[in-house]
Amino acid sequence: MAQMNLLHAINEALDIAMGNDERVLVFGEDVGHFGGVFRATAKLQDKYGKARCFNTPLTEQGIIGFANGLAAQGMRPVAEIQFADYIFPAFDQIVNETAKFRYRSGNEFDVGGLTIRTPYGGGIAGGHYHSQSPEAYFTQTPGLKVVVPRNPEQAKGLLLASIRDDNPVIFFEPKRIYRASVGEVPEGDYEIPLSQAEVVQEGTDITLLGWGAQMELIENAAKRAAKEGISCEIIDLRTLMPWDVDTVAASVVKTGRLLISHEAPLSGGFAGEIAATIQDQCFLHLESPIARVCGLDTPYPLSLEKEHMANEHKIFEAIKTSVNF
């Protein structure tokens, strides 16, 4: 299998999707000849022309409104929001239009072919306008799917599945590992099913759950825990909505403990929803309170970024606290 980084895998997925289906269009701010601010769409315009890969004005609400119109007419638009922090001007279009198209028409029409790609998260010294993790805002919106990959192999398969899914999908890409995450990626066309979590590592003492770039930190913390005799089961949620409750619950029944970690702030983060659901389903199997290791409830800082983030040291300490409860 070819070795590639996460950006290359995303670019290859877009290339395959556009090559196999002429209804797939890619557009956003600077995605054309420039290839996007991170070069995720590099060379796509050269290959498929300006009619299928093109720049838009700097208006996120306009980008998604335009995408809704295309999807409603049967196209499969892939709209890029340059940074997840910039998705909020488009919030009305996504929440009140994209998510409700199918419902309000009684399934007579929809925008199910729409995929929204956007880089999210910190770790690049981007400050408060280029580092946020807003995934939880959209998990409370029926009608949307929310997907986050952790590595190149996952990114390619999940993005192809998202583009071909018959529901609108927001695809959050962890930009901290765009170039840092390198791994083997299957050649050609393949899909990874949405709404199926993956048990990355089996264990017996505690379940560790996360998504995106946080998975690397969780795995590092688990290695440190193993040196102290703690066996960690690691699960990558992959799809946040609809999420795979059964896989997570089965793991917690086995281990008796759950720790959830994400970059977004603790309050209102999706870890709270997971914790409430698993507490409801697994209460009699829990050996300790469900733990959350998340970002701080502050605006995302520039100079204190490392202190703000939920790093492997915080996760490791929380593992020990849970197991020794």
> Which residues are the active-site residues?
60, 130
The first and second tokens of residue 79, run together, are 């709209």
29: helix, strand or coil = coil
Closest by alpha carbon to 209, among 256, 153, 266, 252?
252
Cross-strand bridge partners of residue 258: 207
- In angstroms, the CA 35 to CA 44 distance is 8
Phi, psi of 106, rounded to the nearest 5 degrees: 60, 35
Q: Where are the alpha helices (DSSP H) in the chain?
A: 6-20, 44-48, 60-72, 91-92, 101-104, 135-139, 152-164, 214-226, 245-255, 270-282, 305-308, 312-323
**Helix or strand or coil: residue 264?**
strand
Contact 295, 264 (CB under 8 A): yes
